[in-house]
Amino acid sequence: MIYLDNAATTQVCPEAAQAAVRAMTRDFGNPSSRYPLGKAAASAMAAARWEVAAALGCGADEVFFTSCGTEGDNWAIQGALELGRRRGRHIITTAFEHSAVLEPCKALEREGYEVTYLKPGKSGHISMADLRNALRPDTVLVSIMLVNNELGTVQDLAGAAGAIKEAGSPALLHTDAVQGFLKIPFTPKGLGADLLTVSGHKIRAPKGIGALYIRRGLRFPPLLLGGGQENGLRPGTEPTAQIAAFAAACRLGRETRDEYTPRMSALKQYALESLLSALPELRQVGVGDAPHILCLTLPGYKSEVLVRVLGDLGVCVSAGSACHRGRPSHVFAALGISKKEMDGAFRVSFSPESTREDVDGLRDALVRAREMLFTTLS
Protein backbone atom coordinates (compact mmCIF):
# COMPACT_ATOMS: atom_id res chain seq x y z
CA MET A 1 0.00 0.00 0.00
CA ILE A 2 1.13 3.54 -0.75
CA TYR A 3 -0.20 6.01 1.80
CA LEU A 4 -0.25 9.61 0.56
CA ASP A 5 -3.14 10.98 2.63
CA ASN A 6 -1.20 12.33 5.60
CA ALA A 7 -3.32 15.47 5.87
CA ALA A 8 -6.25 13.16 6.75
CA THR A 9 -4.29 11.30 9.39
CA THR A 10 -0.82 9.87 9.97
CA GLN A 11 0.62 6.55 11.03
CA VAL A 12 1.58 6.74 14.71
CA CYS A 13 5.37 6.87 15.10
CA PRO A 14 7.03 4.14 17.23
CA GLU A 15 8.15 6.74 19.80
CA ALA A 16 4.52 7.82 20.38
CA ALA A 17 3.20 4.26 20.46
CA GLN A 18 5.83 3.25 23.04
CA ALA A 19 5.09 6.30 25.18
CA ALA A 20 1.36 5.42 25.13
CA VAL A 21 2.03 1.81 26.15
CA ARG A 22 4.25 3.00 29.03
CA ALA A 23 1.58 5.40 30.23
CA MET A 24 -1.10 2.73 30.08
CA THR A 25 0.81 -0.14 31.64
CA ARG A 26 3.48 1.35 33.92
CA ASP A 27 2.66 4.98 34.78
CA PHE A 28 -1.09 4.32 34.76
CA GLY A 29 -2.04 6.30 37.88
CA ASN A 30 -4.58 9.09 37.95
CA PRO A 31 -2.62 12.38 37.91
CA SER A 32 -4.98 13.73 40.60
CA SER A 33 -4.13 10.93 43.07
CA ARG A 34 -1.85 11.90 45.96
CA TYR A 35 0.20 8.69 46.28
CA PRO A 36 3.44 8.10 44.33
CA LEU A 37 1.79 6.37 41.31
CA GLY A 38 -0.52 9.36 40.85
CA LYS A 39 2.28 11.84 41.39
CA ALA A 40 4.41 10.04 38.78
CA ALA A 41 1.53 10.34 36.30
CA ALA A 42 1.16 14.04 37.14
CA SER A 43 4.84 14.73 36.61
CA ALA A 44 4.84 12.74 33.33
CA MET A 45 1.95 14.94 32.23
CA ALA A 46 3.78 18.13 33.20
CA ALA A 47 6.78 16.97 31.15
CA ALA A 48 4.45 16.17 28.24
CA ARG A 49 2.87 19.63 28.43
CA TRP A 50 6.35 21.13 28.31
CA GLU A 51 7.15 19.11 25.14
CA VAL A 52 4.01 20.28 23.37
CA ALA A 53 4.73 23.88 24.43
CA ALA A 54 8.32 23.58 23.17
CA ALA A 55 7.08 22.36 19.77
CA LEU A 56 4.58 25.23 19.65
CA GLY A 57 7.00 27.83 20.95
CA CYS A 58 4.89 28.99 23.91
CA GLY A 59 4.71 28.57 27.68
CA ALA A 60 3.54 25.27 29.18
CA ASP A 61 0.87 27.23 31.08
CA GLU A 62 -0.60 28.28 27.72
CA VAL A 63 -1.23 24.68 26.54
CA PHE A 64 -4.60 23.05 27.32
CA PHE A 65 -5.13 19.47 26.22
CA THR A 66 -8.29 18.70 24.25
CA SER A 67 -9.65 15.54 22.66
CA CYS A 68 -9.07 16.70 19.05
CA GLY A 69 -8.74 19.67 16.74
CA THR A 70 -12.52 19.95 16.40
CA GLU A 71 -12.86 20.41 20.15
CA GLY A 72 -10.13 23.07 20.19
CA ASP A 73 -11.80 25.01 17.38
CA ASN A 74 -15.25 24.84 19.00
CA TRP A 75 -13.89 25.85 22.40
CA ALA A 76 -11.91 28.78 20.95
CA ILE A 77 -14.98 30.13 19.17
CA GLN A 78 -17.43 29.66 22.04
CA GLY A 79 -14.99 31.05 24.61
CA ALA A 80 -14.07 34.11 22.53
CA LEU A 81 -17.75 34.95 22.06
CA GLU A 82 -18.45 34.58 25.74
CA LEU A 83 -15.52 36.87 26.56
CA GLY A 84 -16.73 39.46 24.06
CA ARG A 85 -20.45 39.15 24.76
CA ARG A 86 -20.80 42.71 26.02
CA ARG A 87 -18.92 44.15 23.05
CA GLY A 88 -20.71 42.59 20.10
CA ARG A 89 -21.96 39.64 18.08
CA HIS A 90 -19.92 39.82 14.86
CA ILE A 91 -17.45 37.14 13.77
CA ILE A 92 -15.07 37.16 10.81
CA THR A 93 -13.86 33.87 9.38
CA THR A 94 -13.13 32.47 5.92
CA ALA A 95 -15.29 30.57 3.47
CA PHE A 96 -12.73 27.76 3.33
CA GLU A 97 -12.24 26.90 6.99
CA HIS A 98 -12.50 23.31 8.12
CA SER A 99 -16.01 22.30 9.15
CA ALA A 100 -14.77 22.35 12.78
CA VAL A 101 -14.93 26.16 12.43
CA LEU A 102 -17.61 26.56 9.76
CA GLU A 103 -20.27 24.47 11.48
CA PRO A 104 -20.07 26.30 14.85
CA CYS A 105 -20.22 29.59 12.92
CA LYS A 106 -23.35 28.45 11.06
CA ALA A 107 -24.95 27.39 14.35
CA LEU A 108 -24.11 30.81 15.83
CA GLU A 109 -25.77 32.54 12.87
CA ARG A 110 -28.95 30.65 13.73
CA GLU A 111 -28.65 32.12 17.25
CA GLY A 112 -28.46 35.67 15.89
CA TYR A 113 -24.69 36.22 15.53
CA GLU A 114 -23.48 37.81 12.30
CA VAL A 115 -20.67 36.04 10.47
CA THR A 116 -18.60 37.46 7.61
CA TYR A 117 -17.02 34.71 5.48
CA LEU A 118 -13.95 36.09 3.68
CA LYS A 119 -13.43 34.44 0.27
CA PRO A 120 -9.98 33.39 -0.90
CA GLY A 121 -8.67 34.69 -4.22
CA LYS A 122 -7.76 32.37 -7.10
CA SER A 123 -4.42 31.46 -5.48
CA GLY A 124 -6.20 30.34 -2.30
CA HIS A 125 -5.18 33.25 -0.05
CA ILE A 126 -7.31 35.62 2.03
CA SER A 127 -6.74 39.29 1.28
CA MET A 128 -5.81 41.45 4.26
CA ALA A 129 -7.59 44.39 2.60
CA ASP A 130 -10.80 42.31 2.72
CA LEU A 131 -10.19 41.62 6.41
CA ARG A 132 -9.65 45.32 7.13
CA ASN A 133 -12.89 46.17 5.33
CA ALA A 134 -14.81 43.52 7.25
CA LEU A 135 -13.67 44.59 10.75
CA ARG A 136 -16.39 46.42 12.68
CA PRO A 137 -16.58 47.90 16.17
CA ASP A 138 -18.73 44.92 17.24
CA THR A 139 -16.35 42.25 15.83
CA VAL A 140 -15.37 39.99 18.73
CA LEU A 141 -13.57 37.17 16.93
CA VAL A 142 -11.47 36.70 13.80
CA SER A 143 -10.79 33.04 12.99
CA ILE A 144 -8.50 32.32 10.03
CA MET A 145 -6.83 28.96 9.48
CA LEU A 146 -3.05 28.89 9.17
CA VAL A 147 -2.76 26.21 6.45
CA ASN A 148 -5.75 25.20 4.39
CA ASN A 149 -6.26 21.46 4.63
CA GLU A 150 -7.21 20.91 1.00
CA LEU A 151 -5.05 23.40 -0.87
CA GLY A 152 -2.05 23.71 1.44
CA THR A 153 -2.11 27.50 1.17
CA VAL A 154 -0.58 29.38 4.12
CA GLN A 155 -2.53 32.40 5.33
CA ASP A 156 -1.01 35.66 6.53
CA LEU A 157 -1.88 35.43 10.22
CA ALA A 158 0.67 38.04 11.27
CA GLY A 159 -0.93 40.36 8.69
CA ALA A 160 -4.35 39.61 10.20
CA ALA A 161 -3.08 40.39 13.71
CA GLY A 162 -1.62 43.66 12.36
CA ALA A 163 -4.93 44.58 10.69
CA ILE A 164 -6.86 43.97 13.93
CA LYS A 165 -4.37 46.06 15.89
CA GLU A 166 -4.35 48.90 13.34
CA ALA A 167 -8.14 49.05 13.44
CA GLY A 168 -7.96 49.33 17.23
CA SER A 169 -10.31 46.35 17.39
CA PRO A 170 -10.60 44.34 20.59
CA ALA A 171 -11.42 41.21 18.53
CA LEU A 172 -9.55 38.06 19.51
CA LEU A 173 -7.58 36.25 16.81
CA HIS A 174 -7.95 32.47 16.59
CA THR A 175 -6.15 30.26 14.13
CA ASP A 176 -6.79 26.63 13.30
CA ALA A 177 -3.17 25.51 12.97
CA VAL A 178 -4.00 21.79 12.70
CA GLN A 179 -2.34 21.49 9.26
CA GLY A 180 0.46 23.94 9.99
CA PHE A 181 1.79 22.46 13.22
CA LEU A 182 5.33 21.11 12.73
CA LYS A 183 4.99 21.64 8.98
CA ILE A 184 5.70 25.37 8.74
CA PRO A 185 7.68 27.42 11.26
CA PHE A 186 5.57 29.60 13.57
CA THR A 187 4.96 30.52 17.18
CA PRO A 188 1.57 31.73 18.45
CA LYS A 189 3.20 34.97 19.58
CA GLY A 190 4.92 35.49 16.22
CA LEU A 191 1.54 35.09 14.49
CA GLY A 192 -0.13 37.42 16.98
CA ALA A 193 -2.72 34.72 17.79
CA ASP A 194 -4.68 34.77 21.05
CA LEU A 195 -5.95 31.23 20.49
CA LEU A 196 -4.50 28.44 18.37
CA THR A 197 -5.68 24.89 17.73
CA VAL A 198 -3.56 21.80 17.03
CA SER A 199 -4.35 18.09 16.73
CA GLY A 200 -2.21 15.05 17.52
CA HIS A 201 -3.20 12.64 14.77
CA LYS A 202 -1.86 14.93 12.04
CA ILE A 203 1.65 14.80 13.51
CA ARG A 204 2.07 11.04 14.09
CA ALA A 205 0.39 10.89 17.52
CA PRO A 206 -2.79 8.82 18.00
CA LYS A 207 -6.29 10.09 17.38
CA GLY A 208 -8.12 11.50 20.38
CA ILE A 209 -5.71 14.21 21.52
CA GLY A 210 -5.12 17.84 20.63
CA ALA A 211 -4.41 21.14 22.32
CA LEU A 212 -5.68 24.67 22.46
CA TYR A 213 -3.13 27.44 23.00
CA ILE A 214 -4.67 30.18 25.12
CA ARG A 215 -2.56 33.33 25.36
CA ARG A 216 -1.33 33.99 28.88
CA GLY A 217 -3.41 36.69 30.56
CA LEU A 218 -6.61 35.86 28.68
CA ARG A 219 -9.31 35.01 31.26
CA PHE A 220 -10.77 32.28 29.10
CA PRO A 221 -14.00 30.51 30.08
CA PRO A 222 -14.01 26.74 30.70
CA LEU A 223 -15.20 24.29 28.07
CA LEU A 224 -16.70 21.90 30.62
CA LEU A 225 -17.54 22.06 34.28
CA GLY A 226 -16.22 19.41 36.64
CA GLY A 227 -12.96 18.74 38.49
CA GLY A 228 -9.95 21.02 38.42
CA GLN A 229 -8.02 19.41 35.56
CA GLU A 230 -6.41 21.65 32.95
CA ASN A 231 -6.49 24.51 35.40
CA GLY A 232 -10.24 24.06 35.75
CA LEU A 233 -10.84 24.98 32.11
CA ARG A 234 -11.16 21.53 30.58
CA PRO A 235 -11.95 19.14 33.41
CA GLY A 236 -12.08 15.36 33.08
CA THR A 237 -9.48 12.75 34.02
CA GLU A 238 -6.65 13.33 31.61
CA PRO A 239 -6.03 10.81 28.78
CA THR A 240 -2.47 10.25 29.98
CA ALA A 241 -1.59 7.71 27.26
CA GLN A 242 -2.65 10.01 24.42
CA ILE A 243 -0.93 12.95 26.10
CA ALA A 244 2.33 10.99 26.48
CA ALA A 245 2.14 9.90 22.85
CA PHE A 246 1.35 13.46 21.68
CA ALA A 247 4.40 14.72 23.57
CA ALA A 248 6.64 12.04 22.04
CA ALA A 249 5.41 12.92 18.54
CA CYS A 250 5.98 16.63 19.28
CA ARG A 251 9.52 15.91 20.46
CA LEU A 252 10.30 13.88 17.35
CA GLY A 253 8.70 16.51 15.11
CA ARG A 254 10.61 19.34 16.77
CA GLU A 255 13.93 17.52 16.59
CA THR A 256 13.55 16.49 12.95
CA ARG A 257 11.61 19.33 11.32
CA ASP A 258 14.67 21.16 10.00
CA GLU A 259 15.63 18.02 8.11
CA TYR A 260 12.17 16.81 7.09
CA THR A 261 10.46 20.01 5.99
CA PRO A 262 12.83 20.68 3.06
CA ARG A 263 12.70 16.97 2.22
CA MET A 264 8.89 17.04 2.02
CA SER A 265 9.00 20.24 -0.10
CA ALA A 266 11.45 18.59 -2.50
CA LEU A 267 9.27 15.48 -2.70
CA LYS A 268 6.23 17.62 -3.43
CA GLN A 269 8.09 19.38 -6.25
CA TYR A 270 9.23 16.00 -7.61
CA ALA A 271 5.63 14.76 -7.46
CA LEU A 272 4.33 17.81 -9.30
CA GLU A 273 6.91 17.50 -12.10
CA SER A 274 6.63 13.74 -12.44
CA LEU A 275 2.82 13.65 -12.40
CA LEU A 276 2.52 16.57 -14.83
CA SER A 277 4.86 14.94 -17.30
CA ALA A 278 2.95 11.63 -17.16
CA LEU A 279 -0.49 13.27 -17.31
CA PRO A 280 -0.29 16.57 -19.22
CA GLU A 281 -3.96 17.42 -18.57
CA LEU A 282 -3.35 17.38 -14.81
CA ARG A 283 -3.38 20.80 -13.11
CA GLN A 284 -2.41 22.12 -9.70
CA VAL A 285 -5.16 23.89 -7.74
CA GLY A 286 -4.02 26.89 -5.68
CA VAL A 287 -0.33 27.50 -5.05
CA GLY A 288 -0.09 25.17 -2.05
CA ASP A 289 2.71 26.85 -0.08
CA ALA A 290 2.80 24.22 2.72
CA PRO A 291 5.42 21.49 2.20
CA HIS A 292 3.10 18.51 2.65
CA ILE A 293 -0.09 19.23 0.68
CA LEU A 294 -0.46 19.06 -3.09
CA CYS A 295 -3.87 19.73 -4.56
CA LEU A 296 -4.39 18.55 -8.13
CA THR A 297 -7.22 18.18 -10.59
CA LEU A 298 -7.83 15.89 -13.56
CA PRO A 299 -10.60 17.83 -15.30
CA GLY A 300 -13.21 15.58 -16.90
CA TYR A 301 -12.88 12.86 -14.25
CA LYS A 302 -14.80 12.51 -11.01
CA SER A 303 -12.36 12.59 -8.12
CA GLU A 304 -14.62 10.31 -6.03
CA VAL A 305 -14.29 7.62 -8.69
CA LEU A 306 -10.61 8.32 -9.28
CA VAL A 307 -9.82 8.01 -5.59
CA ARG A 308 -11.76 4.75 -5.36
CA VAL A 309 -9.92 3.26 -8.35
CA LEU A 310 -6.57 4.44 -6.94
CA GLY A 311 -7.54 2.81 -3.65
CA ASP A 312 -8.22 -0.46 -5.47
CA LEU A 313 -4.75 -0.14 -7.00
CA GLY A 314 -3.29 0.24 -3.49
CA VAL A 315 -2.77 4.02 -3.39
CA CYS A 316 -4.46 6.19 -0.73
CA VAL A 317 -5.12 9.84 -1.61
CA SER A 318 -8.09 12.00 -0.79
CA ALA A 319 -10.92 13.50 -2.83
CA GLY A 320 -11.00 16.70 -0.82
CA SER A 321 -11.22 16.83 2.98
CA ALA A 322 -11.64 13.45 4.67
CA CYS A 323 -14.28 15.07 6.88
CA HIS A 324 -16.49 15.79 3.85
CA ARG A 325 -16.78 12.37 2.29
CA GLY A 326 -19.01 12.32 -0.73
CA ARG A 327 -20.03 15.99 -0.56
CA PRO A 328 -18.70 18.64 -2.94
CA SER A 329 -16.00 20.59 -1.14
CA HIS A 330 -16.79 24.08 0.13
CA VAL A 331 -13.08 24.83 -0.29
CA PHE A 332 -13.15 24.50 -4.07
CA ALA A 333 -16.47 26.29 -4.25
CA ALA A 334 -14.87 29.19 -2.36
CA LEU A 335 -12.02 29.35 -4.90
CA GLY A 336 -14.38 29.95 -7.79
CA ILE A 337 -12.85 27.29 -10.08
CA SER A 338 -14.83 25.64 -12.90
CA LYS A 339 -17.16 22.73 -12.13
CA LYS A 340 -15.03 20.36 -14.23
CA GLU A 341 -11.90 21.31 -12.27
CA MET A 342 -13.76 21.07 -8.98
CA ASP A 343 -15.13 17.60 -9.81
CA GLY A 344 -11.68 16.29 -10.71
CA ALA A 345 -9.81 17.69 -7.68
CA PHE A 346 -7.92 15.43 -5.32
CA ARG A 347 -5.31 15.88 -2.59
CA VAL A 348 -1.94 14.18 -2.22
CA SER A 349 -0.31 14.73 1.18
CA PHE A 350 3.10 13.67 2.41
CA SER A 351 4.66 12.70 5.71
CA PRO A 352 8.34 12.82 6.65
CA GLU A 353 8.37 9.10 5.78
CA SER A 354 7.04 9.49 2.22
CA THR A 355 9.46 8.56 -0.57
CA ARG A 356 10.04 9.04 -4.30
CA GLU A 357 9.00 5.41 -4.75
CA ASP A 358 5.61 6.31 -3.26
CA VAL A 359 5.28 9.14 -5.78
CA ASP A 360 6.33 6.85 -8.66
CA GLY A 361 3.70 4.35 -7.52
CA LEU A 362 1.06 7.09 -7.45
CA ARG A 363 2.07 8.22 -10.96
CA ASP A 364 1.80 4.69 -12.38
CA ALA A 365 -1.52 4.11 -10.62
CA LEU A 366 -2.91 7.42 -11.89
CA VAL A 367 -1.95 6.59 -15.48
CA ARG A 368 -3.58 3.17 -15.08
CA ALA A 369 -6.70 4.63 -13.41
CA ARG A 370 -7.11 7.19 -16.18
CA GLU A 371 -6.87 4.41 -18.82
CA MET A 372 -9.40 2.27 -16.97
CA LEU A 373 -11.85 5.14 -16.51
CA PHE A 374 -11.39 6.37 -20.08
CA THR A 375 -12.25 2.88 -21.35
CA THR A 376 -15.32 2.75 -19.09
CA LEU A 377 -16.45 6.22 -20.16
CA SER A 378 -15.96 5.67 -23.92
Sites of contact with ligand PLP (CB under 6 A): 68-70, 73, 98, 100, 145, 149, 176, 178-179, 199, 201, 210, 322-323
* Minimum distance, C-beta of residue 300 to ligand PLP, in the bound complex (Å): 28
Q: How far is 299 from 281, CA to CA, in rounded Å? A: 7
Give whichever of 10 and 169 is closer to ligand PLP, judged by the CB atom: 10
**Minimum distance, C-beta of residue 151 to ligand PLP, in the bound complex (Å):** 11
Residue 325, CB-side half-sphere exposure with 13 Å CA sphere: 4
Identify whether 323 is a catalytic site residue.
yes
Task: Tell me whether residue 15 or residue 103 sits nearer to ligand PLP (CB atom).
Answer: 103
Between 276 and 322, name the residue whose CB sits nearer to ligand PLP: 322
φ, ψ of residue 351 to 5 degrees: the values are: -120, 170
Neighbour tally for 196: CB within 10 Å: 30
Q: Least distance from C-beta 96 to ligand PLP, angstroms?
A: 10
Spatial neighbors of 375 by CB under 8 A, at least 6 apart, are none
Cα separation of 371 and 353, whole Å?
29
Please name every residue paired with 256 in a beta bridge, in sequence order, or none if there are none. none
Residue with nearest beta carbon to ligand PLP: 69
Nearer to ligand PLP, 295 or 309 (CB): 295
Q: How far is the CB of 235 from ligand PLP (least distance, A)?
A: 20
Q: Shortest approach of ligand PLP to residue 87 CB, angstroms?
A: 27
Our CB check for ligand PLP shows the closer of 73 and 194 to be 73
- Of 27 and 289, the one with the shorter C-beta distance to ligand PLP is 289
Q: What is the 3-state secondary structure (H, E, C) of the chain?
A: CEECECCCCCCCCHHHHHHHHHHHHCCCCCCCCCCHHHHHHHHHHHHHHHHHHHHHCCCHHHEEEECCHHHHHHHHHHHHHHHCCCCCCEEEEECCCCHHHHHHHHHHHHCCCEEEEECCCCCCCCCHHHHHHHCCCCEEEEECCCECCCCCCECCHHHHHHHHHHCCCCCEEEEECCCCCCCCCCCHHHHCCCEEEEEHHHCCCCCCCEEEEECCCCCCCCCCCCCCCHHHCCCCCCCHHHHHHHHHHHHHHHHHHHHHHHHHHHHHHHHHHHHHHHCCCCEECCCCCCCCEEEEECCCCCHHHHHHHHHHCCEECECCCHHHCCCCCHHHHHHCCCHHHHHCEEEEECCCCCCHHHHHHHHHHHHHHHHHHHHHHC
Minimum distance from residue 127 beta carbon to ligand PLP (Å):
20
Nearer to ligand PLP by Cβ, of 10 and 354: the residue is 10
CB of 99 to ligand PLP, least distance (A): 8
Residues assigned a catalytic role: 323
